[in-house]
Structure 1
Amino acid sequence: MPAESAVEPSPEILAAFRAAKGFMPVGEGLALYRAAVEAAALGLPVLEVGTYCGRSTILLADAARAAGVTALTVDHHRGSEEQQPGWEYHDPAVVDPEVGRMDTLPTFRRTLHAAGLEDHVVALVGRSPQVAAVWGGKLGFVFIDGGHTDEHANGDYEGWAPHVAEGGLLVIHDVFPDPAHGGQAPYRVYLRALESGAFTEVSVTDSLRVLRRTGAGTAI
């Protein structure tokens, strides 16, 4: 991957990332940005699964803007399982009072507007497997950061990993080999990607894993 000093977001983009509602630490965000910059150079769209309020989308959109490609982000915007009422990551500020359910889409749109990136992102509102089933093109980059159950993590992997072009990058968040540090579904998907023979590991930054599509093997 390019030298880290050569690929840093601007102070304005980094400030927008820090200000946005979300959970990704800065160190992992910078690693995500570097991977997106490299992959966007392939001239193909970059895609993330799991938009939430757009914190990581800022970085992907900025990388896409610089390369002249589009950033795609997939989410139903009703929150993942750990964001529902009574769970650790629930935020009542993003509950729609009219329907009584989470709706992160308005906050996401405000996040992009504040960062000046609305014109560089296509928001795909729907459940990841349904969107993946109708997606027909290749992608230079796929970032899996959606639901953390085995059902959802495997659905995201099976739906989107086959679309990663040769030489493109698959990035998986919240990979914790030690169960004491976090849920295991993303870790199992990470192992599945390596065992497929289609991906090789490029870098590790805390819980963020960057893998490259080699062309060998099948993604699922």
Structure 2
Amino acid sequence: MSITLPINIDSVKGFLAADEGEALYQYALTASKLGPCLEIGSYCGKSTVYLGTACKENNRTLFALDHHRGSEEHQLGEEYHDPDLYDTSIELMDSFKTFRTTMRLADLDDTVVPIVSSSLIASRDWATPLGMVFIDGGHSEEAAQTDYRSWSSFIKPGGILAIHDIFPNPEDGGQAPYNIWKLAKASGLFEELPTVNTLGLFRRL
């Protein structure tokens, strides 16, 4: 890796490949000069470290949006369930404590502003133009569509839209992120950039 992170990124729970994380960092380093950045789907903070470290270099804010109750696949009995993130006292997932620990260890408490909410509710009264939006929230069709439609219009000209888990072949993974990637491509609002592994990228025209 050609970038230096403030924490051992392999110690942070998450599903982001190293090349995808480095691409997020590099694009955020430029995009955060245009305005603050937003990620949808922070989980335990792996992508947040990449994005936040870049934003910190430009003295910009990264808004980290996640309800911290886990996506569909993180729930009890599902494939990606992590018992360490399950609060047995309320029988719900809760990744927020782990996320906050990651931010403290990465010295990003003064850069990252957590928003503990659903995507739709958080966007309802949003008015701040953004330099970059990274979508990696729930992978149901409804969740992905909501994330795209709620936030893509806030990206400033020249800003970046990044969408994680793009699988053109249904045998490789779920199609909801790929479907919103196709929406962005067909919208006429974005210039398509080279995909990095499963990270789809666009620049706002």
TM-score band, normalised by the shorter chain? over 0.9
Q: 7, 10, 14: which one pairs with 1:22?
A: 14
Partner Cα separation in structure 2 for residue 133 and residue 204 of structure 1:
30
Partner of 1:124: 115
Q: 5, 9, 25: which one pairs with 2:3?
A: 9
Partner Cα separation in structure 2 for residue 99 and residue 118 of structure 1:
27
Counterpart of 1:74 in structure 2: which amino acid? Answer: L
> What does the per-residue CA deviation read over 1:130-167, in whole Å, with 9 as the maximum and x for residues that have no partner?
10111111000000000001100000000000000011
Superposition map of 1:37-76 within 5 A: 37-42=29-34, 44-76=35-67
Q: 105, 108, 120: which one pairs with 2:99?
A: 108
Partner of 2:173: 182
Confirm or deny that 1:33 pairs with 2:25: yes
Partner of 1:87: 78
Structure 2 SS opposite 1:113: helix
- Residue 97 of structure 1: CA displacement? 2.2
Counterpart of 2:119 in structure 1: which amino acid? Answer: S
Counterpart of 1:118 in structure 2: which amino acid? Answer: D
> What does the per-residue CA deviation read over 1:50-86, in whole Å, with 9 as the maximum and x for residues that have no partner?
0101110011111110011101010100000011111
Structure 2 SS opposite 1:119: coil
TM-score by length of 1: 0.90
Instruction: Choose 187-196 or 27-36, whichever is displaced more.
Output: 27-36
Partner Cα separation in structure 2 for residue 197 and residue 105 of structure 1:
37
- Residue 31 of structure 1: CA displacement? 1.0
Partner Cα separation in structure 2 for residue 187 and residue 108 of structure 1:
27
Partner Cα separation in structure 2 for residue 98 and residue 68 of structure 1:
39
> What does the per-residue CA deviation read over 1:163-191, in whole Å, with 9 as the maximum and x for residues that have no partner?
00011000000000001110000000000
- Residue 35 of structure 1: CA displacement? 1.1
Q: Runs (4+) of structure 1 moved beyond 4 Å?
A: none
Structure ranking higher in helix proportion = 1
TM-score by length of 2: 0.97
Partner Cα separation in structure 1 for residue 28 and residue 11 of structure 2:
20
Partner Cα separation in structure 1 for residue 154 and residue 10 of structure 2:
30
Q: 150, 156, 160: which one pairs with 1:159?
A: 150
> Which has the higher relative contact order, 1 or 2, with Cα contacts under 8 A spaced 6 or more apart?
2
For these two proteins, the number of residue pairs brought into alignment is 205
Partner Cα separation in structure 1 for residue 156 and residue 177 of structure 2:
21
> What does the per-residue CA deviation read over 1:85-140, in whole Å, with 9 as the maximum and x for residues that have no partner?
11111101001121111000000000111111111100001000110111111000
Partner Cα separation in structure 1 for residue 38 and residue 105 of structure 2:
21
